[in-house]
Chain A
Amino acid sequence: MNLTTPLGDEVLDLRAGDRVTLTGTIYTARDEAHLRMMEEGIPFDPVGAAVYHCGPVVRDGRLVVAGPTTSARMNALTGFLIDAGVRALIGKGGMGPEVVEQLRGRAVYLAFTGGCAALAADRMSLSGVYFEDLGMAEAVWIIEADHLPLTVGIDARGGDLFSAVREKAKTQFHQRFNIR
């Protein structure tokens, strides 16, 4: 299935583990950008938007490489984006239980393969920037994505592939090392 931005209610039908591609405008944001947006407001139209946890390498107005960063760092900084109408978060490693709740009935978390920065840049082009003073890694870059390959990590019904895997890992660990 190919998703196109701005996203709507179609994201509510996705299930954790589904494979999708995404086409359209996405906005990068890491720790510093989240803090700035909380203070000064969101510089783009958040309704139906997709936010990408990414700090790319940019040279001469072009993306060199642009893979995902660890999303969990933004666990405590995400609620205001979902409240504002953001429909998809893209990143790696999954997010905390508070975000799973915030996504419920509203938005999804899409996992992009960590480290696949050359592949990401191959499916993207740069179209602008906000907060450039935050530096290359922390600025909000406006990106046009073309069929970015993603896995639904957390769906809008509380389904969380990462937490399911984590729970299984915990059980395995306790069994193997005889921890009661």
Chain B
Amino acid sequence: MTHPADPALLRALATATEKALLEAEIRLPTDVLAALRRAAAAEKNEVARQEFALILENIALAGERQVPICQDTGVPVVYLTLPPDVPFTPDLFAGIREGVRRATTAIPLRPNVVDPLTRENTGDNTGAGMPAVHVVFGDRLTVTVLPKGAGSENASRIGMLLPSQAADIPRFVAETMLIAGGKPCPPVFLGVGIGGTFDGAAALAKEALLLPVDTMDDYEQEICDAVNALGIGPMGLGGETTALAVKVKRRDCHTASLPVAVNVQCWACRRATVEVER
């Protein structure tokens, strides 16, 4: 039996999605900005300092002009938080899709969503499985968006490590950036998913990018230091800052498995959460 959602709720969801995308595309979250400013102040490499200056100038210009920070406005990744009184029905997704369509015209966003094989563009950033919607449960009805650009997404990586290789995780993460070099627009944020299943580790790595980046625990700091020792620097031109922060999420896994996923995120870690008005 289907249980169609209230049309007013779908409209509110569309509005919240559009609002969240507008916020995310134009203004970086304060924790992300703080991480960038801190690294810019500490950087000693001359080329890297100049790259930081351009990045900070760009962020300021995007805010002034109310335009997206980057022309790769990403694909829409959405985390929908459902409170107990909102039934989880598939048509909730219709509201989110409508919000993405509206944001595409209103902001505007670059139409990035294509058929994977024919490469035909859908024109409105929606399509089969797009937006990518993840449902989580919580107290309030909120829409969180994480528009994901391709430069950094393409550098992401998953490994099915052996249970005996737990100590190799920092190496696996550093190796991911060694392979990536300047391609994912460093300085990056790295979301690391450890454990779960093959697909679960990747989802976890992306969720880790939603965590505040202004603090790291010792383990995250250790991985971050290993990445920064590479000296790849902003845009791969060399420098002390390759990773601005590493965030780790863990989940239990099979006794014979150790899945590890690294979701690479460029310096423009765009995310925003908007509560649905109802």
**Chain A residues within CB distance 8 Å of chain B:** 17, 19, 32, 54-57, 59, 64-67, 69-70, 72, 92-94, 111, 113-122, 135-137, 149, 151, 153, 161-162, 164-166, 168-170, 172-173, 176-177
The one of B67, B111, B151, B267 in contact with A121, judged by C-beta atoms closer than 8 angstroms, is: B67
Q: Which residues of A contact B71 (CB under 8 A)?
A: 54-57, 64-67, 117, 120
Closest B residue to A116 by CB, please name it. Answer: B58
The one of B61, B151, B229, B238 in contact with A119, judged by C-beta atoms closer than 8 angstroms, is: B61
* Bound Cα distance from A176 to B177, whole angstroms: 14
A-B pairs with beta carbons under 8 Å apart, 22 shown: A57-B68, A64-B67, A64-B71, A65-B70, A67-B70, A67-B71, A92-B182, A93-B182, A93-B183, A111-B235, A114-B70, A114-B182, A116-B54, A116-B55, A118-B58, A118-B59, A118-B69, A119-B57, A119-B58, A122-B61, A165-B182, A165-B237
- On whether the beta carbons of A136 and B154 are closer than 8 Å, the reply is no
Nearest 6 interchain pairs by C-beta: A114-B185, A116-B58, A118-B62, A117-B71, A169-B230, A119-B58
Q: Which residues of B contact A57 (CB under 8 A)?
A: 67-68, 71, 73, 108-110
The one of A92, A153, A169, A177 in contact with B171, judged by C-beta atoms closer than 8 angstroms, is: A177
A90 to chain B minimum Cβ distance, whole angstroms, is 13
Count of inter-chain pairs, beta carbons less than 8 A = 159
* Bound Cα distance from A122 to B70, whole angstroms: 13
The one of B55, B171, B237 in contact with A111, judged by C-beta atoms closer than 8 angstroms, is: B237
Q: Which residues of A contact B30 (CB under 8 A)?
A: none
Interface string of B260-272 (1 = CB under 8 A from A): 0000001110000
Most buried by A among B121, B174, B183: B183
- On whether the beta carbons of B61 and A115 are closer than 8 Å, the reply is no
* Bound Cα distance from A153 to B233, whole angstroms: 14
Q: Which residues of B contact A59 (CB under 8 A)?
A: 108
B178 near A: Cβ within 8 Å? yes
- On whether the beta carbons of A165 and B233 are closer than 8 Å, the reply is yes
* Bound Cα distance from A170 to B68, whole angstroms: 35
- On whether the beta carbons of B229 and A72 are closer than 8 Å, the reply is no
- On whether the beta carbons of A115 and B182 are closer than 8 Å, the reply is no
Q: Which residues of B contact A149 (CB under 8 A)?
A: 54
The one of B54, B108, B174 in contact with A177, judged by C-beta atoms closer than 8 angstroms, is: B174
